[in-house]
């Protein structure tokens, strides 16, 4: 039995990724992978291993190889790093398939993370290491894929922080009304 306060319809929209989100994710992911692979090819073609060129200020292009992950951790566990990266990429794709339309920034953010992860994964499988070359002297050398992963995670965290938050004024009004 219906009363005047019951909703007539409880229509919910699907949060699954649609064709537009998948195309966006693929385009960003492919662009990240291609840019990283291209820059690594340029560096390995122009600089010998451990050779460095000063660019400006603390910024150098320094050709190094890293068989581990961030900061050289797990350098002797390449197989485990490959497996965990594959699992992480698979999980991100599954998450995206179910939630890709939840927020308009998801295709870009996850595209950066997945593209960067796949580029480094490709190097680990093919070569057993990744080429790092961006060197700020006070931080371990890294590559574009690492940058894309960090930027993508940063965008995801920012979206999470602001997606479900009510404006402060609206919260105060709601809380005041609830106390009345």
Instruction: Single out the catalytic residue among 36, 123, 135, 146.
Output: 146
Q: In this structure, how many other beta carbons lie within 10 angstroms of the beta carbon of residue 9?
A: 5
User: Domain locations in the chain?
Assistant: 19-163
Residue 175: active-site member: no
Which residues sit opposite 52 in a β-bridge? Answer: 62
Contact call for residues 21 and 104 (beta carbons, < 8 A): no
pLDDT at 3 > cutoff 70: no
Instruction: Single out the catalytic residue among 36, 123, 132, 135.
Output: 132
Contact call for residues 97 and 16 (beta carbons, < 8 A): yes
- Give the Å distances, CA to CA, from 102 to 17, 77, 105: 8, 36, 9
pLDDT digits (tens, 9 = 90+) for 29-73: 999 999 999 999 999 999 999 999 999 999 999 999 998 777 666
pLDDT computed for residue 101 by the predictor? 74
pLDDT at 74 > cutoff 80: no
Task: Name the average pLDDT for the chain.
Answer: 86
> Where do we find the tokens 């820059």?
39
Its pTM stands at: 0.80
Residue 146: active-site member: yes
């Amino acid at each position: 039995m219906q009363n005047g306060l019951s909703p007539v319809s409880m229509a919910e929209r699907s949060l699954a990724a649609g064709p537009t989100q998948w195309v966006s994710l693929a385009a960003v992911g492919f662009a990240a992978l291609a840019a990283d692979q291209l820059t690594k090819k340029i560096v390995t073609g122009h600089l010998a291993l451990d050779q460095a060129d000063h660019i400006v200020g603390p910024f150098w292009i320094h050709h190094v190889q890293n068989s581990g992950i961030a900061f050289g951790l797990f350098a002797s566990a390449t197989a485990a790093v490959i497996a965990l990266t594959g699992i992480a990429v698979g999980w991100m794709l599954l998450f995206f398939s179910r939630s890709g339309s939840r927020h308009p920034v998801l295709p870009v953010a996850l595209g950066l993370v997945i593209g960067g992860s796949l580029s480094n994964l490709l190097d680990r499988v093919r070569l057993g290491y990744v080429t790092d070359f961006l060197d700020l002297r006070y931080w371990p050398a890294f590559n574009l894929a690492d940058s894309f992963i960090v930027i993508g995670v940063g965008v995801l965290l920012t979206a999470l922080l602001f997606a479900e938050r009510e404006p402060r004024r609206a919260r105060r009004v709601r809380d005041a009304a609830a106390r009345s």
